[in-house]
Structure 1
Amino acid sequence: MKTSIIGYPRVGALRELKFASEKFFKGEISIDELHRTGADLRLAHWKIQQQNGIDYIPSNDFSFYDGVLDTACLLNIVPERYRALNLPPLATTFAMARGYQGPQGDVKALAMKKWYNTNYHYMVPEIDDSTRIRLTGTKLFDELLEAKQHQIATKPVLIGAFTLLKLAKYTGAKQADDFVQEATEAYAAVLAKLNELGAEWIQLDEPQLVTDLSPEDLALFAKLYSGILSAKGNVKVLVQTYFGDVRDCYQELQALPFDGIGIDFIEGKKSLALVRQYGFADDKVLFAGVVNGKNIWRNRFKSTLVLIQELRELARQVVISSSCSLLHVPYTLKHEAKLPEETKRHFAFAEEKLQEFAALKAILEQPDPYSSSYYQQNEELFNGSRLINNEAVQARTAALSEADFTKLPEFSERLAIQKSKFRLPPLPTTTIGSFPQTAEVRANRFSFKKGAISEEQYKQFNRDKIAECIALQEEIGLDVLVHGEYERNDMVEYFGECLEGFIFTENAWVQSYGTRCVKPPIVWGDISRSKPMTVEYSAYARSLTNKPMKGMLTGPVTILNWSFPREDIQLKDSALQIALAIRDEVLDLEANRIEIIQIDEAALREKLPLRQSDWQSEYLSWAIPAFRLVHSGVQAQTQIHTHMCYSQFSDIIRDIDAMDADVITFEASRSDLAIIDAINECGFQTEVGPGVYDIHSPRIPSVDELKQGLHRMLDKIDVAKLWVNPDCGLKTRGVTETWASLRHLVQAAREVRATL
């Protein structure tokens, strides 16, 4: 048996790429030094895969920011506003990803969206009528040759033509069909160059194939690949899918002259049934995704061997593959010194998954696979007990009734009560919650964790920062204040650390976008709250101001979606357990005179099934009630806010309204505000705050720019329902740019307010 990896984590075992990139952005290292860091990481990643016997090692899965963006740059999909900056190639890429404000000009970044059902974010390629798709870049080939210089053969990886055209944003009259010929020729040129360089395989990633496909989509796919594959020459083409099954195009994939087809047997619910029903072409290699690329639990060899053995009977050539790129799991367990060995043996991060591939290969080479020591050790692990159950938590969840999910009085009555209570001006201004986590803030938290300062010293520092934050918010004139969240390392990890049932790592970082990495908690057992988590700091902040103060919480669905979940119970059960814990916190905040409480569901859409037919039955039927459970017990005058990342909510807008919050803020500045049209079409009752500026970019928006954005919103939203806020939390931004942007935001709101 041969083995294949779809992709590997980029940031390094200790986030070397993140730190080098941030130094480059600050001007502390040269672009040559940044490139050297990239080369060192690529070599380390290739070597560890080679050492574990991976037969199909990917190249071009490395990126300084994002693979979709790299593909766009490779194929000349660079809008003119970025070309006009006249920056070096990598600097142009960064301008597209982060925006640019400097001597060469002032441009916003491209839109950024979630990568299917993951917490990774991709940059949305932008195509206008003047775009000419053609091969102009060399990165794909450079990395192939770079690996060859180290005597490592790789299969170059590239986003496929169909997925690229489907994910792109079209800003002119032309649409995807108008670029078929150019895209076909560009990909054919890629294949021609790979033939010239002697590459054996290329992996074309087509995750769009696991979504609902229309007849027009199938026609577009067939048109693209009929042309591309006719020019493939000697290089073998693997069409790689992941995150689901290919039920809408399985037979079309079999009919086209691909040399390999990558199929996900972890998230692909119907993948095995498709192979059973239709068989698998003898002239193709089945790259079977049987090792979970998203979760961190050990693979159970017993189940995987049964699956592989059946697939070997159904397909002539089978390669063991990951279900998706290992980009979505941490790098290695080697740097987890605090986790007990008995705990760590249950986990497999990216490097350990490579060892699982090696073990599976060794097991399958045995005459009797089930007698292998690797197999026996694996079975011993899975037959053991982790002692994870909490009977009180399970009983509380089981006792829930319909009344626990219903908030009274109804929205219209609550709205009148809250308007009378808070007496906020039109276009009330606020932020999403967090303020910059400076080096000083992080050092304080680190010193406390290491025992270098006392708990009182740690808390006093946080109180001082909160007082400073409140004073500055009052000085610039924000209407609803927050405490800044200086005690929180992460919006999910912080709450996980305060709850029973989670365990935590030291270095299990996963890339979210660019240099942004997160360290997801691990759901180890049943979840409960043993003490208040946020009340102390929120109550202190409340004592410093007469303005409304928001208590800041993370919602149950986001906590679950941004954690590594258990695989032994349903997601619904974990979500309800977390919801009950957060509900207790909501009621404690209310009892301490916190009259506005924001419960963020930034990741609500993230785990929405990729096929619409599965939305209600597999997700929304429990995700929306879990949120309602959190806040259904508060009094009418307590105003409930929530926040959601990105504006891809038009198709579930009625479900979002059913969350029954009083105010919802959306990340919207990089979108075309289509979310507002959806809100109006469904009669959305909740007050809304579409983000007026992009916090993922260091740009400082001008007052005029913000006013123009507010006027566009007011063309579509009743002034009585519109809030003014940034896109998201300000944790990752610098202090100077943050306060300058907020001053402009408040000034813009006041000037627009004066015209009403």
Structure 2
Amino acid sequence: MQTHLLGYPRIGSNRELKKACEQYWTGKIVLDELLKTGKEICKQNWNIQKEAGIDLIPCNDFSFYDQVLDLSLTLGAIPKRYNPIAEDTTKSELDLYFAMARGYQKEGLDITAMEMTKWFDTNYHYIVPEFYKNQVFKLNSSKIFNEFEEAKNSGINAKPVIIGLVTYLLLGKEKEEGFDKLDLANALLPVYFEILEKLQEQGAEYIQFDEPFLALDLSEKAKETYQFVYKQIKEKFPKLKFILTTYFEGLKDNLALATQLSVDVLHVDLVRNPEQLDEVLNVIPERLSISLGVVDGRNIWKNNYEKSLEFIQKAKEKIGSERVFIAPSCSLLHTPCDLDNETQLHSEIKNWLAFAKQKVNEVNALKELSEDNPEEKFLNDFEENKKAVESRNNSSLIHNQQVKQRVSAITEKDSQRKNTFGIRKNAQQNILNLPLFPTTTIGSFPQTKEVRTWRAKFKKGELSAQEYDTLLKKETERTIRWQEEIGIDVLVHGEFERNDMVEYFGEQLEGFVFTKNGWVQSYGSRCVKPPIIFGDVFRPNPMTVYWSQYAQSLTEKWVKGMLTGPVTILQWSFVRDDQSRSTTCKQIALAIRDEVNDLEKAGIRIIQIDEPAIREGLPLRKSDWQNYLNWAVESFRISASGVEDATQIHTHMCYSEFNDIIQNIADMDADVITIECSRSQMELLNAFGDFKYPNEIGPGVYDIHSPRVPSKAEMVDLLLKAEKVIPAHQLWVNPDCGLKTRHWEETEKALKEMVEAAKEASALFVSQDKLQNHWL
């Protein structure tokens, strides 16, 4: 029996990678210093796993930005627009890499970033590969070989991790018509062969291929491609041992396919789909070993050893211990680094938790406990584990009967606005009096170093509450005045009092607990600190009314109240696993409903309830979608439906494909929805146009995840594209997402261009007499 990990967090236990990347981007450190930080993180990660007793330790799971982008660079899948950087001998490979991720706007060049979207149903974002007909691939980076060599030189029994060829193709997009991306498998195979040949020459024994698409619905062509690819690989490299990993779902109807592929070890996720173990054991051929994903790689709860050992024992009895591997369910990328860094957590709750470093020890402990005569140390661990599980099951911290009763009393009326959108629209326009192409932003404005310093000093007691309040009010007023000055129609207060869009609310809701260092990578250098939902959720006091009222008092223009929606709070938290997610979501929805009603009473007439995570929460199998969508949409509507017709409800969604759920988006019945569209050049808007989306919509006209500033002409062009699929009188003008992570200089330039673009587009449509249905 062997242990292994699928991957480990790469940000560093103190976010060393984030800090180094951002310093490199701003010119504060040189390339060698950035590379040194990466090597140090790799070595630290490897040593943690080695010291814990892990048999096979992953390498090439480290990335400076994104593992999919790493592979695109390695395979030479570099869009032609980056040729000026690729051909510039003064630029490093990492400069090209970061330009692909973030865009490039220097030295007379203005190159857009590659598209970014969610990694399956997680809050991690990957850079989408771009594919073209007859595309040529070539080995273009030595990263994977360098990491393997460094691991080997450090005494690590390293297992290179590579995204499987079929999954890589399925993750990408065809950027021209007339071909299927799966047709590129033949062109890609020789480069995969070259990678494997070099790794074999370096002494690699095991290779991990990540193929999570095997846990999704597959076309017949995809299934045929899987069979073809792995047959070719095994025939070419019979001596290499291939671990094929699936995760985030069960194999289900792809079980026969997966067990027939020419690999040596098949990894299955027994956290997301525990019932598949019996099915796999009944059909697994004798040549194939099984990797049991029994430690949760997506959540932070301590493993239940008794339950996991039942799975391990069942597998041992069926196929023999020599064919059993023990592992987390997926990469630990999605968990914080080290629980030992948390010194202020409630002691009882902390005893229920395990972060990445602790999960590594759990994997090894399960192996030792499954042996015939475990050492006393591990028997003691087992007893402590049982006590922790029992403590959580019986804790008085978790349950609140009033909250449970309120959820059980929800009726259909609680999720219905008083009237239909058509009636609400007239009531809202009579009060709001907004122009054609109204401009707004998504909510947050840049959180400068000064703002973050104030918050840190306030938390340390170095600033009094009154001093902190005064500083935030000045920043808020400055932002309101600046928005008025450039002519934005619907203002926001900037959210300077907030840390993270979920954490801020969780800190004010009961049933949540927070870490100090529980950071998880979201994309690139962007890290989030997800709250932990451990118990029943309710709102003891108003959360945002104070700042919304203050901002509205500063201006005669409308200021949006800004909230995070119940589904997003759920999705972007570590959620309790002792009750259904739908029940927890409805508890949060009722808390947000209370806040929405209080904002309306305070005179806030436009309220945005952000739900960027609706799409990512979809189960990976379409057969499971409807149940999720029913309770997710209901939860949003519960949060939004307590207001009068004249109060305008907005929602925001980003980096999602909407085609398959457009009816459900419409069912949310938000008066205005804002979405990410600029990176896809308005492609995402087509779903709304084809559906004839009835409510108002703000397709983002510039990409806030890139530092480049788009021109007015570029944004006008996007608005003209938008008008071809959505009537002008339904369109809003806004950035793709919040501006918290941007700098003021680029933000000011971009928003001025955006406002001018809206004016030009409006004038164009008025002059062409296109506005028969607008309020003129």
Question: Fold-level match, TM-score > 0.5?
Answer: yes
- Structure 1 counterpart SS, 2:110: strand
Matched, 1:492 2:502: yes
1:330-341 correspondence to structure 2 within 5 Å? 330-341=336-347
1:312-461 correspondence to structure 2 within 5 Å? 312-316=316-320, 317-367=323-373, 372-384=379-391, 385-387=394-396, 388-461=398-471
Percent of counterpart pairs with the same letter?
Answer: 47
1:585-600 correspondence to structure 2 within 5 Å? 585-600=595-610
Contact 1:483 1:541 in 2 (8 A): yes
Contact 1:281 1:315 in 2 (8 A): no
- Structure 2 counterpart SS, 1:447: helix
1:44-55 correspondence to structure 2 within 5 Å? 44-55=44-55
Letter in 2 for 1:458: Y
Name which of 209, 216, 219 aligns with 1:211: 216
Contact 1:586 1:630 in 2 (8 A): yes
Letter in 1 for 2:395: R
Alpha-carbon shift at residue 658 of structure 1 (Å): 0.4
Matched, 1:622 2:631: yes
1:187-586 correspondence to structure 2 within 5 Å? 187-268=192-273, 270-278=275-283, 280-316=284-320, 317-367=323-373, 372-384=379-391, 385-387=394-396, 388-586=398-596
Contact 1:24 1:34 in 2 (8 A): yes
Alpha-carbon shift at residue 135 of structure 1 (Å): 2.2
The corresponding residue for 1:131 is 135
Distance in 2, Cα, partners of 1:247 & 1:687: 40
The corresponding residue for 2:23 is 23
Distance in 2, Cα, partners of 1:404 & 1:545: 33
Alpha-carbon shift at residue 269 of structure 1 (Å): 5.3
- Kindly provide the CA deviation profile for residues 559-588 of structure 1, in whole angstroms up to 9, marking residues without a partner as x: 011000001111111111111111111011
Distance in 1, Cα, partners of 2:653 & 2:43: 38
Name stretches of at least 5 consecutive residues in structure 2 with no aligned partner.
766-776
Distance in 1, Cα, partners of 2:440 & 2:325: 53
Letter in 2 for 1:43: K
Distance in 1, Cα, partners of 2:698 & 2:712: 18
Alpha-carbon shift at residue 130 of structure 1 (Å): 5.6
Matched, 1:103 2:104: no
Distance in 2, Cα, partners of 1:36 & 1:337: 29
Contact 1:275 1:314 in 2 (8 A): no
The corresponding residue for 2:770 is none
Distance in 1, Cα, partners of 2:227 & 2:136: 21
- Structure 2 counterpart SS, 1:100: coil
- Structure 1 counterpart SS, 2:252: coil
Name which of 733, 741, 749 aligns with 2:742: 733
Distance in 2, Cα, partners of 1:56 & 1:690: 46
Contact 2:293 2:327 in 1 (8 A): yes
The corresponding residue for 2:68 is 68
Contact 2:135 2:184 in 1 (8 A): no
- Kindly provide the CA deviation profile for residues 520-561 of structure 1, in whole angstroms up to 9, marking residues without a partner as x: 000021111111100011001001111111000000110011
- Structure 1 counterpart SS, 2:208: strand
Paired residues, what number?
754
TM-score (norm 2): 0.95
Letter in 2 for 1:557: V
Matched, 1:640 2:645: no
- Structure 1 counterpart SS, 2:99: helix
Distance in 2, Cα, partners of 1:606 & 1:421: 35
Distance in 1, Cα, partners of 2:734 & 2:102: 20
Name stretches of at least 5 consecutive residues in structure 1 with no aligned partner.
none
Alpha-carbon shift at residue 309 of structure 1 (Å): 0.8
Alpha-carbon shift at residue 268 of structure 1 (Å): 2.5
Q: RMSD of the TM alignment (CA)? A: 1.4
Alpha-carbon shift at residue 252 of structure 1 (Å): 2.1
Alpha-carbon shift at residue 459 of structure 1 (Å): 0.7
Alpha-carbon shift at residue 225 of structure 1 (Å): 1.9
Name which of 90, 95, 98 aligns with 1:94: 98
- Kindly provide the CA deviation profile for residues 37-93 of structure 1, in whole angstroms up to 9, marking residues without a partner as x: 000010000000000011110000000000000011111101111122223211100
Alpha-carbon shift at residue 671 of structure 1 (Å): 1.5
The corresponding residue for 2:768 is none
Distance in 1, Cα, partners of 2:657 & 2:5: 30
Over 3 Å counting, the alpha-carbon distance change for 1:250 and 1:595 in structure 2 is same
1:158-197 correspondence to structure 2 within 5 Å? 158-172=162-176, 173-197=178-202
TM-score (norm 1): 0.98
Moved over 3 A (4+): 366-371
Q: Structure 1 residues 683-692 or 344-353, which shifts more?
A: 683-692
Contact 2:144 2:160 in 1 (8 A): yes
Letter in 2 for 1:574: T
Distance in 2, Cα, partners of 1:255 & 1:678: 38
The corresponding residue for 2:673 is 664
Distance in 1, Cα, partners of 2:374 & 2:331: 31
